[in-house]
Amino acid sequence: MNAKLARYFARPGRPQPLPLPLERLVIERCRSGNLQFKEALSLFECLLSSQHLRPSIRPFNSLLSVIPKTNHPDRHITVISLFNRLNRIRNRGVYPDFLTFGILIDCCCSVRRVDLGFCMLGQSLQAGCGVDTVMFNSLIKGLCAAKKIPDAAKLLAKMPLMGCAPSLFTYNTLIGCLCSNGNSRLGLELCHQMAKEGSCCKPDVVTYNTLIHGFCREGDAAVASRMFDGMISKGVVPDIFTYNILINSLCRQGDMHSAQKMVDEMVVKGVLPDVYTYNSLILGSLGVGDTHEAFRLYEELLGCGLQADVFTYTNLIHGCCQEGAFLRASDFLQEMITKEVMPNVATYNCLIHGLCAVGEWKRAIRVLGVMVNQGISPDVVTFNVLINSLCNNRITCEAEKLVSLMEERGVKPNVITYNALLHGYVLEDRLDDTINLYERMAQKGIEPNQYSYNTLINGYCKSGRISEALHLLEKMQRQGLKPNEVTIDIILDAFSNCEKPDEVQCIISKMEAFRKRVV
């Protein structure tokens, strides 16, 4: 392509049309919507290598704006690198403009280099290109991604001083960041502020959805409800996301009556429930123990022509396991596979947990095998449930094999894993192994918790090694862990058969004092 263009312009007397053929080709390819990463780089090289041509910044901007939209992992870094190369041909009259700097600022912020983004903002001002709201939006988005909320708020306040009015996107970005970090009340204050800025900055449905979701997540359903009423009174029409947020919140509270009322209201207003709506209702019904209603909702979902997803099936399998209906749970698992809804680790964990809860650890291990064969990697929860079940059934030898397997698969055992083993060893009266495991926890940097200490104290007491149990009790307190009712009962039970009355009375007094503090 390059050689052909060179031959074209090598002909004597050939005029240079505007825009140049290469520039026109680049711009057309960028507009096509199907320009791939490698082709974009090739076109960039063609522009750079056309020494006899005088390309404008326009085709370069087209390429720099398209590259970030590709799915290449290094797309943003590449744009920054290409910009540096572009700077080297300024002697050919190609200068970055307002659009170039805007693209660069966004790319810098996308790779968490907001500092470079500010440098680009400075360069844009220095070059006389100016700044605009879009540039500030990129910087605020970058600061929010880095959780530098105060800096983002300060930048928003400076925008009018730089001649840039904050847009709806500016406010929604900062409000979203505040709400996702547990500061929904500050987000609400910002919402009130934006409403005062003029008609172009009035809160929209995205603003309200963000705030409602934030308050629901923080457990302040009353404020979320008032926000819902407020948006309607201001003429902002709720969408499916608004209703789903509120319905999900009500279901999690167990208020199924209000949740169903909200569904009826949305249908009347022409907003039809989607699979997320039904998933919330199914989960809520299971939460209040109404498995029959959960299954009815599933049938209704299918009747509406909706496709159940992995969350639908996982919740239903969980409900079946709670009732001990493992055959039906297996049917749901098979149904989802048949419908090409692939189970995930949570789906299998529900089934494994349900089987272990009723002592069916052998079947649970078979499910683990099926899970691995399906190409789904067990996580720490999967292994912990199985290890705990084996230890409770005094089969620690098999539990130890599972610990080895999880380590082989790159899943790190945590304090829950070790607590299960500690408990299993104590049940089997393997105190030496219990002590060794406790010491191994420290070597691996795993901090024992209250359950760990209680288990080991119980092991010492069962073996009649009371003084060591008391020594461990003191160590537990030095670690900042207070004895609880379980600790106290273990110690008191151990001393109930002690033949030293004075010592017994002293210990009982101490334990009773601890009990009062616990209460």
Write the pLDDT tens digit of every residue in 430-470. 999 999 999 999 899 999 999 999 999 999 988 888 889 88
Q: 475: which 2 tokens?
A: 């160590």
- Work out the pLDDT band at 20, boundaries 50, 70, 90: low
- What mean pLDDT is predicted for residues 303-328? 93
What per-residue string of b and e applies to 413-450 under the rule 16 or more CB within 10 Å gives b?
A: bebbbbbbbbbbbbbeebbebbbebbeebeeeebebeb
Higher pLDDT, 55 or 484: 484
Please report how many Cα atoms fall inside a 13 Å half-sphere around the Cα of residue 237, on the Cβ side.
6
Q: What angle do CA 460, 461, 465 make, to 5 degrees?
A: 60
- Work out the pLDDT band at 508, boundaries 50, 70, 90: low
Task: Assess contact for 450 and 419: CB atoms under 8 A.
Answer: no
Give 279-323 as a DSSP string. HHHHHHHHHTT-HHHHHHHHHHHHHTTPPP-HHHHHHHHHHHHHT
- Work out the pLDDT band at 195, boundaries 50, 70, 90: confident
Token look-up 């925008």 returns 159
Write the pLDDT tens digit of every residue in 75-116. 999 999 999 988 877 767 788 999 999 999 999 999 999 999
Write the pLDDT tens digit of every residue in 382-400. 999 999 999 999 999 999 9
With both helix axes pointing from N to C terminus, report the angle between 345-357 and 310-322 in degrees, rounded to the nearest 10: 0
Could you tell me the pTM of the whole model? 0.81
Task: Assess contact for 393 and 399: CB atoms under 8 A.
Answer: no
- Work out the pLDDT band at 1, boundaries 50, 70, 90: very low
Write the pLDDT tens digit of every residue in 211-243. 999 999 999 999 999 999 999 999 999 999 999
Residue 383: burial class (beta carbons within 10 Å; 0-12, 13-18, 19+): buried
Nearest Cα neighbor of 143 from 112, 189, 170 is: 112
In this predicted structure, what is the pLDDT of residue 517? Answer: 59
> Among 180-194, 334-348, 439-453, 473-487, whose mean pLDDT is lowest?
473-487
Does the pLDDT at position 13 exceed 50?
no
| DSSP alpha helix (H) spans, 409-500 | 415-427, 431-443, 450-462, 466-478, 485-495
Q: How far apart are CA 236 and CA 334, in angstroms?
A: 44
Task: Assess contact for 316 and 295: CB atoms under 8 A.
Answer: yes
Distance from CA of residue 438 to its chain's centroid?
Answer: 33
- Work out the pLDDT band at 53, boundaries 50, 70, 90: low
Q: How far apart are CA 65 and CA 58, in angstroms?
A: 11
Task: Assess contact for 48 and 84: CB atoms under 8 A.
Answer: no
Nearest Cα neighbor of 69 from 109, 103, 115, 117 is: 103
Q: How far is CA 196 from CA 137, 156, 183, 190, in A?
A: 19, 15, 21, 10
Task: Assess contact for 434 and 452: CB atoms under 8 A.
Answer: no
Give 2-60 as a DSSP string. HHHHHHHHHSTT----SS-HHHHHHHHHHHHS---HHHHHHHHHHHHH-TTS---HHHH
Q: How far apart are CA 415 and CA 437, in angstroms?
A: 11
- What mean pLDDT is predicted for residues 33-37? 90
Does the pLDDT at position 18 exceed 70?
no
Residue 368 identity (one-letter amino acid): L
Nearest Cα neighbor of 189 from 166, 211, 222, 157 is: 211
In this predicted structure, what is the pLDDT of residue 8? Answer: 40
Residue 234 identity (one-letter amino acid): K
- What mean pLDDT is predicted for residues 36-51? 86
Mean pLDDT of the chain, nearest integer: 89
Nearest Cα neighbor of 101 from 91, 112, 87, 88 is: 87
